[in-house]
Structure 1
Amino acid sequence: MITQSRWSFRLLGADYYTSFPFLYSAETTTMSTPTRRRLMRDFKRLQSDPPGGVSGAPCADNIMMWNAVIFGPTDTPFEDGTFKLVLQFDETYPNKPPSVKFLSKMFHPNVYANGELCLDILQNRWSPTYDVAAILTSIQSLLHDPNPNSPANAEAANLYRENRKEYVRRVRETVESSWE
């Protein structure tokens, strides 16, 4: 179970970085791999130049597992939602994408019932130039512009195409549940 304190990384202070021992420990240099160095760069970039509406950080004891939050884009049915995700990296990153999964309940044409996403950049369109910020902003963009032609959730895709009012109602239910 994820506790509220795990999601407090949005309010960053100077002592924030010291809560991540892998960033500054002596072991970092001896146990460092290209993947771990890249994830440290991604984390530092995400903190120094954060894109709007997304936030993310590695778990305090594991740089290979990240918690993230995407805020619902304005002027969409997802507006005001706070959606939690987990990103799991392995040693093939950045040559291969991480696995990404919504922990929050979602009703979206491109999100499977288990929270996994159907997003091209996490599959056949992956590039090693993508970083964590690009992944999170792409997911936020998917909330803004669903692709009903490549559905992970057929019901959501059908409602999006054929009954937009009901689709919006169902999405708003997930927005309200995201506050819990």
Structure 2
Amino acid sequence: MSIGRTSNGSVLLAKRLMREKRDITENAPEGVVFSDSSDSLMRWNVDIVGASGTLYENERYTLRFKFSAAYPFEAPEVVFVGEEVPVHPHVYSNGHICLSILGDQWSPVLSVSSVCVSILSMLSSCKEKKKPPDDSAYMRYAPSTPRNTTWHFHDDDV
């Protein structure tokens, strides 16, 4: 595994991530498929499949999770990667996701599985496939990581 055991904190981090990796591999929620074959604990790919009866039915997307040494006290960086990202009012063309639990509403009790379920729920509740209204402007000035974006969560009716 590509995480060192230099301190008690990194041992606890490794245990937490190994437990979550095992859980999502063996007991993934419906519509969630652990797709990463790498040996890294700090960076994973997870596929999600749109739920039946939704705008995203059977559409498959890949999420990249990057964990910092502060996980689970800090949210992982989660972005859509791959050839296509979903067209959704809270998903930018570069894969950045505007979702409160990935920002100021993060809690250490959340997990990779719960993040995936939240993103699937966000997709499932969407009434119209459209890009965020500020997608063009965001794409011009977007930081390389969504962690450097100050999100304003004000739209719960998508």
TM-score between the two structures when normalised by the length of structure 2: 0.72
Q: Take 1:154 and 1:29, find their aligned partners in 2: how far apart are those partners?
A: 45
Greater helix proportion: 1
**Structure 1 counterpart of 2:26:** 48
Matched, 1:143 2:123: yes
**Structure 2 counterpart of 1:94:** 72
Q: Secondary structure at the match of 2:72?
A: coil
Q: Take 2:12 and 2:131, find their aligned partners in 1: how far apart are those partners?
A: 33
Question: How far 1:56 sits from its partner (Å)?
Answer: 2.2
Return 5+ residue gaps in structure 2 as ranges.
136-158
**Percent of counterpart pairs with the same letter?**
32
Question: How far 1:62 sits from its partner (Å)?
Answer: 1.3
Question: How far 1:59 sits from its partner (Å)?
Answer: 5.0
Q: For residues 32-111 of structure 1, what are the structure 2 equivalents within 5 Å?
A: 32-56=10-34, 60-103=38-81, 104-111=84-91
Q: For residues 113-124 of structure 1, what are the structure 2 equivalents within 5 Å?
A: 113-124=93-104
Return 5+ residue gaps in structure 1 as ranges.
1-21, 157-180
Report the CA distance shift for 1:147/1:91 in structure 2 as closer, same or farther (over 3 A). Answer: farther
**Structure 1 counterpart of 2:112:** 132
After superposition, give the CA deviation of every residue in 1:75-122 in whole Å (9 maximum; x if it has no partner): 111001011111111111100111111113221001012101001111
> Is the Cα–Cα contact under 8 Å of residues 72 and 78 in structure 1 kept in the other structure?
yes
> Is the Cα–Cα contact under 8 Å of residues 85 and 95 in structure 2 kept in the other structure?
yes
Q: For 1:154, which of 133, 142, 150 is the aligned residue?
A: 133
- Paired residues in the alignment total 130
Task: Report the structure number with the largest CA radius of gyration.
Answer: 1
> Is the Cα–Cα contact under 8 Å of residues 73 and 144 in structure 1 kept in the other structure?
yes
Q: Take 1:139 and 1:76, find their aligned partners in 2: how far apart are those partners?
A: 13
TM-score between the two structures when normalised by the length of structure 1: 0.63
Question: How far 1:50 sits from its partner (Å)?
Answer: 1.6
Give the partner amino acid of 1:56: F
Report the CA distance shift for 1:57/1:130 in structure 2 as closer, same or farther (over 3 A). Answer: farther
Question: How far 1:47 sits from its partner (Å)?
Answer: 2.2
Q: Take 1:121 and 1:52, find their aligned partners in 2: how far apart are those partners?
A: 20
Question: How far 1:146 sits from its partner (Å)?
Answer: 3.7
Q: Take 2:5 and 2:33, find their aligned partners in 1: how far apart are those partners?
A: 26
